[in-house]
Chain A
Amino acid sequence: MIVFERVTKRYPNGREALTGASFSIDTGEMVFLTGRSGAGKSTVLKLIALIERPTRGTVSVDGLNLGQMRPHRLPAYRRMLGVVFQEHRLLADRPVFDNVALPLVVSGAKPAEVDKRVRAALDQVGLRGREPMLPNELSVGEQQRVGIARAVVARPRVLIADEPTGNLDPDLALEVMRLFKRFQDVGVTVVVATHDLHLVQQFGQRSIVLEAGRVLGSGEAPLPSMTASR
Chain B
Amino acid sequence: MLSGYIAHHLRALLGSAGRLARAPFATFMTALVIALALATPLGLAVLVRNALAATGGFAAAMDLSVYLHASVPLSRAQALAHAARARAGVAAVDVISADDALQEFRRYSGFGDALAALPGNPLPNVLRVHPTAQASSAQALAALRNWFASRPEVEVVQVDADWVRRFNALLELLRRVLWVAGAVLSAAVLVVVGNTIRLEIANRRAEIEVVKLVGGSDAFVRRPFLYTGALYGATGALLAWAVVAAALLALQGPVSDLAQAYGSRFGIAGPTLPEAGLTLGAGTLLGWLGAWVSAARHLHSIEPRE
Alpha-carbon gap, A81 to B211, bound state (A): 13
Known A-B contacts A79-B215, A105-B8, A108-B5; A51 and B306 likewise in contact (beta carbons under 8 Å): yes
CB distance from A99 to the nearest CB of B (A): 9
User: Which chain A positions have C-beta within 8 A of B176?
Assistant: none
Q: Which of A95-121 contact B (CB under 8 A)?
A: 102-103, 105-111, 113-114
Q: Does B214 contact A (CB under 8 A)?
A: yes
Q: Does A75 contact B (CB under 8 A)?
A: yes
Q: Does B142 contact A (CB under 8 A)?
A: no
CB distance from B19 to the nearest CB of A (A): 9
CB distance from B297 to the nearest CB of A (A): 16
Q: Does A83 contact B (CB under 8 A)?
A: yes
Mostly, the B contact residues are helix
Alpha-carbon gap, A113 to B304, bound state (A): 27
Alpha-carbon gap, A42 to B8, bound state (A): 33
User: Which chain A positions have C-beta within 8 A of B8?
Assistant: 105, 108
Q: Does B128 contact A (CB under 8 A)?
A: no
User: Which chain A positions have C-beta within 8 A of B5?
Assistant: 108
Q: Does A6 contact B (CB under 8 A)?
A: no
CB distance from B67 to the nearest CB of A (A): 81
A78 lies within 8 A of B213 (CB): yes
Q: Does B94 contact A (CB under 8 A)?
A: no
User: Which chain A positions have C-beta within 8 A of B207?
Assistant: 91
Known A-B contacts A91-B207, A111-B3, A111-B4; A106 and B303 likewise in contact (beta carbons under 8 Å): no
B4 lies within 8 A of A108 (CB): yes
Known A-B contacts A75-B216, A78-B215; A108 and B304 likewise in contact (beta carbons under 8 Å): no
Q: Does A176 contact B (CB under 8 A)?
A: no
User: Which chain B positions have C-beta within 8 A of A49?
Assistant: 213, 304
CB distance from A153 to the nearest CB of B (A): 9
CB distance from A52 to the nearest CB of B (A): 9
User: Which chain B positions have C-beta within 8 A of A51?
Assistant: 213, 303-306
Residue of A nearest to B215 (CB): A79
B211 lies within 8 A of A102 (CB): yes
* Contact code string A122-162 (vs B, CB < 8 Å = 1, else 0): 00000000000000000000000000001000100000001
User: Which chain A positions have C-beta within 8 A of B140?
Assistant: none
User: Which chain A positions have C-beta within 8 A of B215?
Assistant: 75-79, 81, 103, 106-107, 154
Alpha-carbon gap, A108 to B212, bound state (A): 14
B210 lies within 8 A of A79 (CB): no
Chain A to chain B: the 3 pairs with minimum beta-carbon distance, closest first: A79-B215, A78-B215, A106-B216
Given contacts A51-B303, A75-B218, list 4 more A-B pairs with CB under 8 A.
Answer: A51-B304, A76-B215, A105-B11, A106-B220
